[in-house]
Every structure is written in C-alpha cells, then in structure tokens.
C-alpha cells in the first residue's frame, strides 16, 4: 500500500486504489471495526480540488469495475455489485503525499483538509452505497484514525482510478499542453 502511494505522487485527482480481496479488515487501537469477505478494498484519496463530479465518477467506477470472471469463466466480466460482494472503504490522505524536499519529509498539502475531507468522504460513502444499490455491503474504517488494514489479495489485482478532470490535466501537462475541457469530459 505504501509503495502504491509513492508510485502515484504528482497528479491532482480524486484517487482510488482498488484491491480485489478474499478478505479485508480494519482495526483501530487493536479493536476490529470493519471486516469484509470477498470484494474490494478501496483506499480513498481526496485531493484539495475535488468536487461532486469527481466523487460521482469514482463511485461509478468502484461499483462498476469488472474485476471478476463470469459464470462462463471469462475474465474481467463481473463487477463487485454484480457478484454481490462487499466493499471496504479506507480514507487515505497519504495517496497525495510527496517526498520532494531535501529532508525527505512527506508533504501532504495536495490532500483535502480534514474538516472538508470528513464531509466529502461521508458524501462519497453515500454515493457508493447508492451506486451499489444499498449500504449493507459497504463498510469503512474510521476517518482520521490510525488504522491497521489487513487484507488477503485475490490475484493479486490492484488498480488505480483517478477522476477524469484531473487525469486530463496531468496528461496534458505531460505533453506540455494546457488541459482541454472537452478532453476531460470525453474521458468521463
């Protein structure tokens, strides 16, 4: 998980790191607060510029990503929702951390600030529940707490989902161009 965060630094987007799991759990102060069986562990990174469209896009991708095989054995045909598996959401502001200074101290200034992030994370959780079709299979950790996250990867399958508005900005920057609004909308 820490390696994924380091490899992803330098873009501005709502970011999910999805891990297909056999099981996953979150504990705080040694007490288990959430656990799931088969499904997805989603590390949720909120960027300071994220808005409603970023949340909606990521909720759709999380519930709709086809990461399991179908009944015929064809890979990448069924989503967590179609399989009726569970989702464990874990807030993780460190997904926007950068180690760019001489002292090698992480900088999290691109992460959404705590008060706004708390409200935004709750809104995202509600959107995921709505997209899934109910909240019974949507679990989460404790926002802002120091959590111990345990998981048994299935595959392993790990994917990164960035919201499109910011993804277009990053891609344009890599080409040395200004981002085009139409390009961002087309990728949504």
User: So what's the pLDDT on residue 101?
Assistant: 87
User: So what's the pLDDT on residue 164?
Assistant: 82
Rounded-to-integer distance, Cα 81 and Cα 93, Å: 26
pTM reported for the whole predicted model: 0.82
Whether the pLDDT of residue 180 is over 60: the answer is no
Q: Which of 170, 186, 173 is nearest to 12 (CA)?
A: 170
* Tens-place pLDDT, residues 34-79: 999 999 999 999 999 999 999 999 999 999 999 999 999 999 999 9
Terminal Cα distance for the chain, rounded: 26
Whether the pLDDT of residue 173 is over 80: the answer is no
CB 2 within 8 A of CB 158: no
């Amino acid at each position: 998980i820490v390696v994924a965060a380091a490899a992803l630094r330098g873009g501005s987007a709502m970011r999910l790191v999805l891990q297909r799991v056999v099981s996953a759990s979150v504990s705080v102060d040694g007490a288990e607060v959430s656990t799931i069986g088969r499904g997805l562990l989603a590390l949720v990174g909120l960027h300071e510029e994220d808005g409603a469209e970023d949340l909606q896009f990521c909720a759709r991708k999380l519930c709709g990503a086809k990461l399991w095989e179908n009944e015929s054995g064809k890979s990448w045909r069924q989503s967590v929702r179609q399989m009726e598996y569970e989702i464990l959401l874990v807030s993780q502001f460190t997904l926007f951390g950068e180690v760019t200074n001489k002292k090698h101290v992480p900088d999290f200034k691109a992460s959404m600030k705590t008060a706004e992030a708390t409200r935004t994370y709750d809104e995202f959780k509600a959107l995921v529940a709505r997209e899934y079709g109910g909240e019974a299979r949507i679990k989460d950790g404790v926002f802002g707490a120091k959590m111990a996250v345990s998981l048994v990867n299935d595959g392993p399958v790990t994917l990164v989902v960035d919201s499109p508005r910011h993804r277009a900005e990053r891609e344009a920057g890599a080409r040395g161009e200004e981002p085009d609004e139409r390009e961002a909308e087309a990728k949504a």
